[in-house]
């Protein structure tokens, strides 16, 4: 098993390097230079030229890339010229909001997906199963952002049950009320996100449960007179649920991508919204850092998932 994990980590290194080169080239391809925002438009062109030379902007790209990577390792990601503060601080600030929302969505996803998936498998072919399958079919077909828009329209504006923008109401103070207000702001986007995130879990669990239901060992247990409930609790449930843990890592990608839509529609001040703003203001340091960060998180997510899967399911290790 350690061999698999080690190999998996080794594969990660070239991927990380290619990702960083890609992000660097993206940054280079964007019009303007790092000084566009910070220098006085009246500056002398010769002075700008000197500044650019001093900062190595005329070096060959691989030299520039090297400097960029070295800076990266020192935690020096540059300044956001829109917010006039270090990108690291900016991301720390916004990242917390996105983390709140993502964690909440994740919890809801499992809270909805686990019971529904197992129940559907248990009731295979009966009406609860049909109902759950219709639900997965619908959520699989419709684009996420359309449902977010309709969701905020109905529950946010028309019924007025949930706030439609921000992460905390501006008027609240104190720890308790602030937390409550935060929760209030993430319930609707989190719930909608979870309703859409459950599809994979439900489909996987359903087929797992059906498979184990028809397997020889379950039939043996039934023949021996073990009560159905016990079989489900000890065997079917345990067999099916463990691999589900691995989905958490993979779903990071979905959560982050979804967060761009969610944060835009709910005007939620997280990293997705930060990214869209940065693109609109051409705030390049923020854009490149976020693309790199999201890529890195994707990488980490798949790595963790693969490791979890290889621990849980020995068949994967053999290859």
Partner 1 sequence: MAYEFSGRDELSDAELLELSQEAENEATPSTIRVMLNEFKADKTAMASAIFIVAFILLVVIGSFFVNVPQIMQTDLMGYYAKPFTNYILGGDSSGRPILSQLVVGSRNSILIAIGLTAISSTFGVVYGLVSGYYGGYIDLTMQRVYDFMMIIPMLMTIIVLVTIIPHYNAITLTLLLSIFYWMGTSRLIRSSSLAESQKDYVAASKVAGTSNFKIMFREILPNISSLIIVDTTLSFAENIGVETGLSYLGFGLPDGTPSLGTLIANANDPNNITQYWWTWLPAALEIILLCLAISYVGQVLRRTANASQRRGN
Q: Is 284 exposed, middle or buried (0-12, 13-18, 19+ CB in 10 A)?
A: buried
Written as one string, the DSSP assignment of 120-171 is HHHTTTSHHHHHHHHHHHHHHHS-HHHHHHHHIIIIIIIS--S--S-SS-TT
The bridge status of strand 79-80 relative to strand 85-86 is: antiparallel
Determine if 276 is a binding residue for partner 1 (CB under 8 A): yes
Of the two residues 31 and 75, which places its CB atom closer to partner 1 in the complex?
A: 31
Structure-block tokens of residue 158 = 């028309």
Of the two residues 240 and 302, which places its CB atom closer to partner 1 in the complex?
A: 302
Determine if 152 is a binding residue for partner 1 (CB under 8 A): yes
Determine if 302 is a binding residue for partner 1 (CB under 8 A): yes
Determine if 144 is a binding residue for partner 1 (CB under 8 A): yes
Binding positions for partner 1, 160-189, rule CB under 8 A: 164
Of the two residues 226 and 304, which places its CB atom closer to partner 1 in the complex?
A: 304
Q: How far is the CB of 174 from partner 1 (least distance, A)?
A: 29
Alpha helices in 30-86 (DSSP H): 45-54, 61-73
Determine if 29 is a binding residue for partner 1 (CB under 8 A): yes
Whole-angstrom CA distances from 51 to 39, 55, 71, 82, 203 are: 10, 6, 18, 20, 58
Whole-angstrom CA distances from 80 to 265, 279, 288 are: 24, 12, 11
Among 15, 33, 124, 211, which residue interacts with partner 1 (rule: CB under 8 A)? 15
Tell me the sheet residues that pair with 80. Answer: 85
Structure-block tokens of residue 134 = 């219709």
Among 35, 83, 145, 237, which residue interacts with partner 1 (rule: CB under 8 A)? 145
Determine if 30 is a binding residue for partner 1 (CB under 8 A): yes
Among 245, 299, 304, 311, which residue interacts with partner 1 (rule: CB under 8 A)? 299
Residue that the structure tokens 């993430």 belong to: 186
Among 2, 10, 31, 60, which residue interacts with partner 1 (rule: CB under 8 A)? 31
Determine if 294 is a binding residue for partner 1 (CB under 8 A): yes
Could you tell me if 246 and 199 are in contact, meaning their C-beta atoms sit under 8 angstroms apart?
Answer: no
Binding positions for partner 1, 204-263, rule CB under 8 A: 253, 256-257, 260-261
Which range of residues in 42-50, 85-93, 207-215, 288-296 is near partner 1 by CB under 8 A?
A: 288-296
Alpha helices in the chain (DSSP H): 2-29, 45-54, 61-73, 87-122, 127-141, 144-151, 175-213, 216-224, 228-231, 237-265, 271-280, 284-312, 314-318
Q: How far is the CB of 257 from partner 1 (least distance, A)?
A: 5
Rounded Cα gap, residues 163 and 176, in angstroms: 18
Which range of residues in 81-89, 96-104, 122-130, 273-281 is near partner 1 by CB under 8 A?
A: 273-281
Rounded Cα gap, residues 84 and 86, in angstroms: 7
Structure-block tokens of residue 232 = 């489900």
Which range of residues in 98-106, 156-164, 196-204, 225-233 is near partner 1 by CB under 8 A?
A: 156-164
Q: How far is the CB of 163 from partner 1 (least distance, A)?
A: 12
Residues that bind partner 1 (CB under 8 A): 11, 14-15, 18-19, 22, 26, 29-31, 137-138, 140-146, 149-150, 152-153, 157-158, 164, 253, 256-257, 260-261, 264-265, 275-276, 279, 282, 287, 290-291, 294-295, 298-299, 302
């Amino acid at each position: 098993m350690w061999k698999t994990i080690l190999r998996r980590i080794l594969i990660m290194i070239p991927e990380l390097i290619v990702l960083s080169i890609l992000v660097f080239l993206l940054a280079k391809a964007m019009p303007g230079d790092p000084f566009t925002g910070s220098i006085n438009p009246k500056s002398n062109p010769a002075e700008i030229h000197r500044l650019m030379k001093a900062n190595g902007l005329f070096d060959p790209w691989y030299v520039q890339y090297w400097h960029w990577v070295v800076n990266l390792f020192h935690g020096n990601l540059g300044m956001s010229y829109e917010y006039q503060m270090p990108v690291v601080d900016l991301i720390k600030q916004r990242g917390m909001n996105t983390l709140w929302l993502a964690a909440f969505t994740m919890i809801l996803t499992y809270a909805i997906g686990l019971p529904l998936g197992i129940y559907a498998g248990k009731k295979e072919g009966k009406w609860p199963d049909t109902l759950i399958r219709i639900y997965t079919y619908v959520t699989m077909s419709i684009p996420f952002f359309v449902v977010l828009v309709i969701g905020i329209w109905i529950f946010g504006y028309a019924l007025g049950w949930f706030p439609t923008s921000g992460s905390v109401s501006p008027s609240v103070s104190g720890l308790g009320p602030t937390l409550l207000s935060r929760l209030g702001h993430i319930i609707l986007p989190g719930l909608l996100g979870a309703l859409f995130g459950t599809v994979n879990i439900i489909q996987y669990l359903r087929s797992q449960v059906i498979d184990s239901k028809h397997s020889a060992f379950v039939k043996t247990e039934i023949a021996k007179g073990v009560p159905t409930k016990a079989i489900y609790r000890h065997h079917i449930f345990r067999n099916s649920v463990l691999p589900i843990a691995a989905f958490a890592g993979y779903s990071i990608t979905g959560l982050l991508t979804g967060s761009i839509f969610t944060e835009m529609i709910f005007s939620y001040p997280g990293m997705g919204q930060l990214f869209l703003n940065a693109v609109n203001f051409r705030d390049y340091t923020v854009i490149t850092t976020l693309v790199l960060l999201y890529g890195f998180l994707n990488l980490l997510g798949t790595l963790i998932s693969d490791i979890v899967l290889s621990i849980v399911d020995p068949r994967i290790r053999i290859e």
